[in-house]
Amino acid sequence: MQKNLQFKGHYVHHGKNHHECELEHGKVHVFANDDVFGSFEAGVYTMADNNLRIPRNQYFSYTPDAHIGVGTCIGTTAVWRMSDGFVSPSIVGSDIGCGMRVHLTPYHSSELSHKDTLKKLVDAIGRFVPTNEITNTNYSDIDILEVVRYGLSGLPEKYRSDQQWLSHVEAANFPYDHAYLEKLPPIIRKYAQGQLGSLGGGNHFIELQRLEIPQDKKELAKSWGMFDGQLIVMIHSGSRAWGAMVGKEHNKVIKAAMDSWGISNPDPALIYAPITSEEGKAYLNLMYSALNFAVANRHMIAFGVQEAFREALGEDIKLPVLYDLMHNYALKEFHRGQPMLVHRKGTTRALPPGHFLNVPAYKETGHPALIPGSMGTASYIMAGRAEGAKNFYSICHGAGRLRSRKATKALVSVEEFQRSMKVGLEDEILVNHDSLESILDECPQAYKDVDAIIDSVVGAELADVVAKCLPLAVIKGR
């Protein structure tokens, strides 16, 4: 076993990629193979110990893609009891409800993999899904307040006529006390209006991908509507300005409350409040409004993608949704015989077959867990295992950043980026940018090795691979 040179304390190796590290204020469970575990920087443990200072924590863990974030590492699962626990905006993340969505196409990738066809699709998607930060969508018939109140049910009928699009989601509507909306500044509606159905920047994307399905998973994949070589669409986006402003406002509110209560933490960016406090209840309720915005945003992005396919290919096709899920949230869930608040910041819920929280369509098999890689590398579709209970059914949410955006720009050349995207070759991965320099901070070299991350999850028996998704074309924010 490779020694972890960064973690100086005592830890227990439970086998199967499960390490239990003892810190001053509690324990952090790390699910990673030996190489990945050995690569964790010291700062992730400092950040974990600061988080574990929050009283009465029931469980705290890192998935293998964990890396430094603001207040809390991305790749964190943290759990408190609903009765006497805490909620933390820092352990939810700034992009509340950020998550993944996959749509299936009826095409084998060989039918549409010619560069001219892919470019036609990429250009069409760019017309139907705004990728410029300052460009709004034109869905003037959508009331943003109805969306944040009721999620997908708040959309006009013409956008939700396909019932399959509503049923194959982690949740179509997160109920909460709508009176809490009055606590938000009116300007939030102005900023969010028109953003529904827009991609956003950073690591958000739309990808056209080709499936590779292992032989032993072909029956399961078939039951999900998937086949080897299939062209699929993977979408990664969140709650845009609505979620950002909810987080910003309530960071200030909870920080002020912490000061008044005399609560402090070595990390001033780590914000938290008792679940039962007025500040905690306000944040939880308004967080649910952002989750509603996020699931509706990905739904409307997909609506635009479907329209783009129809225009580009001249066919009235349907793109059934495989699944939609989130990886930045805090949800009330029942574990170990009691209600608990499970925070997932950059972790994905992967429920096993038969779990009562599975949506009806996936009750018997467990739902698809959607794990993006990075530009130029594979993504994965996984299925949770019963053994995942040991980590509250949380797995990775992607490859995880290896280096910061600033460091990436300093260390990686455009030429290296071009080689990783196979520019000029027959199997070039197309991008909707004239110059890769503008998105250099999102190059594959900025991220960990996604195959090592997936190996860690599979070896920990948290989930299994159902399909590998190889990129053909990428749409990024401009």
* Confidence at 131, pLDDT banded by 50, 70, 90: confident
Query: Stretch 218-244: mean pLDDT, rounded?
Result: 97
Question: Any known ligand binding at 258?
Answer: no
Pick the more confident residue, 3 or 44.
44
- Using alpha carbons, list the distances in angstroms from residue 220 to 101, 214, 257, 368, 463: 19, 10, 50, 10, 14
CB neighbourhood size of 218 (10 A): 15
Question: Any known ligand binding at 190?
Answer: no
Question: Any known ligand binding at 186?
Answer: no
pLDDT at 6: 61
Planar angle of CA 175, 178, 184, nearest 5 degrees: 125
pLDDT at 140: 87
Catalytic center residues: 397
pLDDT tops 70 at residue 1: no
Question: Any known ligand binding at 366?
Answer: no
Q: Topology of domain 11-402+447-476, per CATH?
A: tRNA-splicing ligase RtcB (3.90.1860)
Q: Provide the 8-state DSSP code for 342.
A: E
Query: 148-182, pLDDT tens digit by residue?
Result: 999 999 999 999 999 999 999 999 999 999 999 99
Who contacts 348 (Cβ-Cβ below 8 Å, separation ≥6)?
Answer: 100, 325, 327, 369, 370, 371, 394, 395, 396, 397
pLDDT tops 70 at residue 347: yes
pLDDT tops 90 at residue 260: yes
* Confidence at 191, pLDDT banded by 50, 70, 90: confident
Question: Any known ligand binding at 400?
Answer: yes
Among residues of the chain, what percentage have pLDDT more than 70?
A: 97
Question: Any known ligand binding at 126?
Answer: no
* Confidence at 256, pLDDT banded by 50, 70, 90: very high
Question: How would you label 97-131 residue by residue, b for 16+ Cβ within 10 Å and e otherwise?
Answer: bbbbbbbbbebebeebbeeeebebbbebbbebbbb
Indicate the pTM of the whole model: 0.96
Query: 380-397, pLDDT tens digit by residue?
Result: 999 999 999 999 999 999
pLDDT at 387: 98
Distance CA 455, CA 460 (A): 8
pLDDT tops 90 at residue 135: no
Query: Stretch 359-387: mean pLDDT, rounded?
Result: 97
Query: Stretch 271-293: mean pLDDT, rounded?
Result: 98
Query: 2-22, pLDDT tens digit by residue?
Result: 444 466 678 888 999 999 999
Among residues of the chain, what percentage have pLDDT more than 90?
A: 90
Question: Any known ligand binding at 89?
Answer: no
Query: 301-310, pLDDT tens digit by residue?
Result: 999 999 999 9
Q: Is the Cα torsion angle 122, 126, 128, 129 positive or negative in sign?
A: positive
Question: Any known ligand binding at 115?
Answer: no
pLDDT tops 90 at residue 324: yes
Distance CA 213, CA 469 (A): 9
Question: Any known ligand binding at 39?
Answer: no
Question: How would you label 403-417 residue by residue, b for 16+ Cβ within 10 Å and e otherwise?
Answer: beeeebbeebeeeeb
* Confidence at 221, pLDDT banded by 50, 70, 90: very high
Question: Any known ligand binding at 263?
Answer: no
pLDDT at 5: 46
**Please, what is the average pLDDT of the chain?**
94
Query: 61-94, pLDDT tens digit by residue?
Result: 999 999 999 999 999 999 999 999 999 999 999 9
